[in-house]
Amino acid sequence: MSLAKEPDMTSVLPVEQLKVTPSGPVEGFRFPELGGRPSAPFKASRWRLDPGEWSNWDQHEVLEIWMVATGTGSVWREEQETAVGPGDVVLMPSQVRHRLHNTGTVPVTLFSVWWPFAAQADSVTGTEVTDGA
């Protein structure tokens, strides 16, 4: 029985452009693969929004969190507005429309992490866990 070799997690993760927002690119972090499969059960990105700008509305099946690194703004989830600033973390539920408005005088920099909602892979056993299980 051979054991899978753990990926090198000691180096800086490579970054690639995922899409372009009104203020610039959304950059995703590429996690190393383990046995041809992703080594992390989530995906992550960073992006920024300049003062006065609005991000596009977004809606998807995944769960997502935004972690605010710099700047201040308003996160809109459907019609609900929440003021955010450095250190704040906001959950975006599955299928809820959301966007960001930079209400401050410096760029808002966000880190985003998202993962599947309906069926999530257990990172230890590799089995699938479904809602309500």
pLDDT digits (tens, 9 = 90+) for 57-85: 999 999 999 999 999 999 999 999 999 99
Distance CA 50, CA 94 (A): 26
List, for residues 93-102, the tens digit of each pLDDT value: 999 999 999 9
**Cβ-contact 49, 30 below 8 angstroms:** no
> What spatial distance separates the first Cα and last Cα of the chain, rounded to whole Å?
31
Positions of the chain with pLDDT lower than 50, given as ranges:
119-133
Residue-by-residue DSSP string for 37-61: EESSSSEEEEEEE-TT-BPPPB--S
* AA letter at 101: H
| pLDDT value for 5 | 60
Model-level pTM? Answer: 0.75
Residue 45 exposed, middle or buried by CB count within 10 Å (0-12, 13-18, 19+): buried
